[in-house]
Amino acid sequence: MPIEITMPKLSDTMTDGTLVRWAKKENDVIKPGDIIAEVETDKATQELEAFEAGTVAKIVIPEGGKVPVGGLIVVLAKPGEDVAAVAKAASAGGAKAPAAAASPVAPSVAAPVPVMPQSPTPGPLPAPVPISPAIVAPVPPIGQKQRVSPLARKIALETGVNLAGLQGTGPDGRIIKRDVLAAPTAAAVSTVAKAGKAAPMPAVRLEAKTIPLSNIRQTIARRLLEAKQTIPHFYVSIDVQMDALLSLRKSANEQLAPVKLSVTDFIAKAVATAIAQTPAINASFTPTAIVQHGTVNLGIAVAIEDGLVVPVIRDAQDKGIRQISAQIKELAELARAKKLKANQMGGSTFTISNLGMYGIREFQAIVNPPEAAILAVGGTEARPVVKNGQVVPAQVMTLSLSSDHRVVDGALAAEFLSKLKDILENPLAMLI
């Protein structure tokens, strides 16, 4: 009997999947463990693994096709079977039909754009001054999204490098640290401008288009709308002086080189410690009870091309900062490569969202249900503070907690943030 492979249920909320790419083609011989396709679910793009040996006789769903869970996607001929005969039978409808008709995702038709009345023809524009390629690199083609690593973006913000035209040398053209360090800074461009060699900014071509929603983006839209409509949010913020933590991080990185601990790593450890001291915030709301969780499963929001995913560090309360750091790096890479598995995403009890590397001072995040709270982390910057009656500079970070008021009261939110502030400002305590 031929082997019929159907669309598996790869997440707890998955109802259908899209065949992003076939790794095998018809007549290819496969063995158990081979990756045969990539499937986009409502949470991530995952690899589909073969569990039996055989030969690909008939690919039922083409690349780009969407099929419900349980729908037939490919037919394999078992070893010794006539591949052509199996393919013919599958084409003739001998194989099990999908649970619902699968069809490729049709491109959306853009709505007509109203034509605005034309203004009088302007006079000739002055000829642009030639611009040095050392100052402005070629702009990426229209429609191509620029890829930038968080570290590269942070360095660019600190040094004044314009990322708009840089060409990345990292994987898939990603702009990485060395690209930013090799680029001229804003100060260098300013020097050229003072010398009379500056030129207008290169023209940016805009394009009207309609972008079909991916499965991931549809799920994000649905869950965030549900969260804002059904969860009574409230927000509290606190400022944290980070000088002691930054000093500790510098010393630790010198001792652990080449291992590098990030500020996010320390914040994740501090959050897990603070939750252990205020366990009531590590909870979920149900219609009949508040469920308080016995472990801290820490979600770390990671931006990807299609939106946002939240990989999970399980039992974070029992892990050291180096373990947490290693897991954050591993999960973030898997998320950006769209290789996260279902068990690496579900089950978080508290989430951290960090936009500090983009220069954001503070923001309020949307609660990630069924959690009761999410922490929004802003950037660290020099601000004046009062110490011993004197105004002095300090490195300050703003943390904002969004909470579900059905579970978390104002006093509990304030208690949690107060403990978190104390841990971050006295970081040695969380390492003991």
**Cα–Cα distance for residue pair 44/312, rounded to 1 Å:** 14
Strands 54-59 and 72-77: antiparallel
DSSP states of 376-418 as a string? EEEEEEEEEEEETTEEEEEEEEEEEEEEETTT--HHHHHHHHH
**Cα–Cα distance for residue pair 399/379, rounded to 1 Å:** 9
Element (H, E) at 65: strand 65-68
Angle of the 263-277 helix axis to the 243-256 helix axis, nearest 10: 120
- Which tokens sit at 198? 């500056």
Q: Indicate which residues carry an active-site annotation.
A: 405
Distance from CA of residue 218 to its chain's centroid? 15
- In angstroms, the Cα distances linking 378 to 269, 323, 364, 408 are 17, 23, 10, 22
Burial class of residue 175, CB neighbours in 10 A (0-12, 13-18, 19+): buried
- In terms of DSSP H, where are the helices of 186-310? 186-194, 215-230, 243-256, 263-277
**Cα–Cα distance for residue pair 238/397, rounded to 1 Å:** 8
- In terms of DSSP H, where are the helices of 78-184? 83-91, 150-159, 177-182
**Cα–Cα distance for residue pair 376/413, rounded to 1 Å:** 13
**Cα–Cα distance for residue pair 260/252, rounded to 1 Å:** 8
Nearest to 313 by CA among 340, 280, 278, 279: 340
Looking at residue 132, its amino acid is S
**Cα–Cα distance for residue pair 86/79, rounded to 1 Å:** 12
Instruction: Please say whether the dihedral angle defined by the alpha carbons of residues 226, 231, 232 and 236, taken in this order, is positive or negative.
Output: negative
